[in-house]
Every structure is written in structure tokens, then in C-alpha cells.
Chain A
Amino acid sequence: MRFSDLHLCAPLRDLERTREMIEKSSELGYNQIGVPFPAGTKQDIVEQVRHVSEDFDLDFVTRLDLFPKSPGELLGDLRRFRRSFEIVSVLCGSKPVARQAAKDRRVDLLCFRGLDRRRRFFDWAEAELASKSSAALEIDLVQVLGAEGFVRAGFLSSLRREVALAKNYRVPVVFSSGAKDVLLLRKPQDYASLTFLFDVDLSAALQALSSNPMTIVERNRKKQSPSYVAPGIRLVKRKEENR
């Protein structure tokens, strides 16, 4: 089975630590990693990280995390940056942003970072919109590792509800590490075991760590290829130029 971690928060300013994290991901058994870059990152930084990933035989995926304050800002950001990144995730800080992100086909991943139940907007309406637009729900497992006590209990309860909703509405779920440090990285099987805490069965957990993220990346790569025309239509062969 091939595994993917679409949210490896490598410190881009420190290439040595970035290298360390990427090496660790490879050691732990991942085949694909997604590294978030700020919009407008210089291409040479992206290439440096790509080279490091290739050194460890990892499939490298460029990712953009958007934190829009309003739906309008989200639309503007998507218009400007969508084509430059293979994966676009939206951190939904408010309900209008969450709704707009869920219905926009250009958004790949919906993230809800807060541990507080009231700041997580993945309800049935959000799930229904996401199921129609093929956006996936992303859960960073570092949040489960970081929380403790009552906070973790509340957070696990929210995750249980969100995962059940996603299953009902057939919204794909993606589990990512979200790790900023080597010691917060775990093997894919260990992450799958951790999801037992919010009632995800092992096969669904492994799918959320392998085929679900890989399908999204593959779909976007096809869309970004020059032969792509529209959904279901691609250029097979160009007419030879007249001599």
C-alpha cells in the first residue's frame, strides 16, 4: 500500500530541518508528501524542497493553504493561485467561508483547525455541498496528539461527528500529519490506529491515508496537464502542422 501525507509543515526557512522531516517521512513509510508553501513563494525554494524529496524517493506535492476572511477573498485567492499549486486547502474560519469553500470545485481540502466545537463548521449542509463539489475533509492528526484532558475529549467528539457525517454524505476524508516537528510524525499504521479514538475502522483509516489523498493529487495533475480541456475531455493528439 502506498501512503501519502499531504500536510507536512516543514520549516521552509531552515532547509536542514526540512530535509530531516522529509527523510523521516520516507523512513516511516510514506510515498508521497505535500508541503504547504505561502502564496508567492519563489520557485527556487519549491525546487529545493522538490530535490530533497526526490533524494528520498518521495512524490512531492505543492500545496497552498488559504486563510480567507470572507468568501470574496477566497474567490480572489483561488482565481490568482489555483493553477500554481497541485493542492489547495482552505482553513474555514467562518461559516460563510466554509460554505463557499465547500461548493467551489477548485478547493481540494476543507480544514477546520480549532479544537472548539463552535469553530468547526462541518455540519450536514457543509457535507452536502462538499459531496457535490468533490472537496475532501482534511483532519490533521497532530491536533489529536497535542490536545489533552477535557479539550481532547471535546475534540474527539467533534471528529466523531464530522467523520460520521462525511461517511453519510460520501465526502472523502483525508488524514494528514500536520506535523511541524520530527517527533510529531508517526507511521501511517500508527495514525490509522489513532483514528480508532474517533470510531474510524482500520480499512477506512488506511484509505484516508493512501488512496483518498492520492486520488486528489492525480486528478489535479491531470487537470494541470496541457492536454486537459474540460472534465472528461482531454487532448489525445495534436494535428501535425502543415509544412
Chain B
Amino acid sequence: MVRQVRRRYLALEIEGEGPLQQKEVADALWNAVLRLFGEVGLSQAGLYLVNFDSEKNRAVLRCSHRALSLVRAAVASVTKIGDVPAAVHVLRVSGTLKALSRKTHS
């Protein structure tokens, strides 16, 4: 059976000066999509921060597969998290969490 909503999971690596909080990271990503694509774009993106590892500064972000290019552009445009200069790099993109963890660990 075909699923109604197809999703994409993005493994992200976050570089920043100083320790980062999950909420700050989520806010920065949400704001990036909101600034570039507006409220309609944000609603279509279906963003959800699945997890954030503050030790490794890695996160997994979920979005709608239709909004992948939009979300990748927004992720690349992040230059600050909180008030701290930062950069977010996409490590991998996958359709399932299982495949994503396999790809990122290989």
C-alpha cells in the first residue's frame, strides 16, 4: 500500500561556537524556512526535529519529500543559531530513519 505522506529524513551536522540547545537548533531551522518561503512554505515543509545529539552536534530533521529542495536551501542558509554564528551541513538524506542511520554509520 502506498503511504499518503512520503517523508525525507536529513542527517545534519551543526557547527557553531559554543554549546547548542535543541530548541535553539529547531528555532533556527524553522526560522530559516519561514524567512525564505513564508508561512505557507513552512506549513508545506512538515518539519520535525526527530533528535539532536548535543555532544556530537548532530541532528535528524524530518520533512515532506515534496519540500526537500526547499528545506535543503533553507538549511544551507542558516548562519546563526541563537546569537551564535553557525553552519549546518546536510550529511545524508534518506526515506526512512533506518536507512539514514545505516548510511550515516557506514
Contact = CB atoms under 8 A, between A and B. Distances in A.
Interface of A: 28, 144-146, 148-149, 181-187, 189-191, 193-194, 196-197, 202
Is chain A's interface secondary structure helix, strand, loop, or mixed overall? helix
B76 A186 contact: yes
B15 A186 contact: no
A190 B90 contact: yes
Interface string B85-96: 111011000000
B50 interface: no
Contacts of A186: 76, 87, 89
A196 B72 contact: yes
Nearest to B15: A183
Given A191-B76, A194-B73, A148 B90 contact: no
Interface of B: 15-17, 35-36, 69-70, 72-73, 75-77, 79, 85-87, 89-90
Is chain B's interface secondary structure helix, strand, loop, or mixed overall? mixed
B89 A187 contact: yes
A28 B89 contact: yes
B72 A193 contact: yes
Contacts of A146: 79
Contacts of B69: 193, 196, 202
Contacts of B87: 182-186
A34 B81 CA distance: 29
B35 A193 contact: no
Contacts of A190: 72, 75-76, 89-90
Contacts of A145: 76-77, 79
B84 to A, nearest CB: 9
A148 B35 contact: yes
Given A183-B15, A190-B89, A197 B73 contact: yes
27 contacts: A28-B89, A145-B77, A145-B79, A148-B35, A183-B15, A183-B16, A183-B17, A183-B79, A183-B85, A183-B86, A184-B79, A184-B87, A185-B87, A186-B76, A187-B90, A190-B72, A190-B89, A190-B90, A193-B69, A193-B90, A194-B73, A194-B77, A196-B69, A196-B72, A196-B73, A197-B73, A197-B77
A196 B70 contact: yes
Contacts of B70: 196
A146 B76 CA distance: 12
A166 B35 CA distance: 28
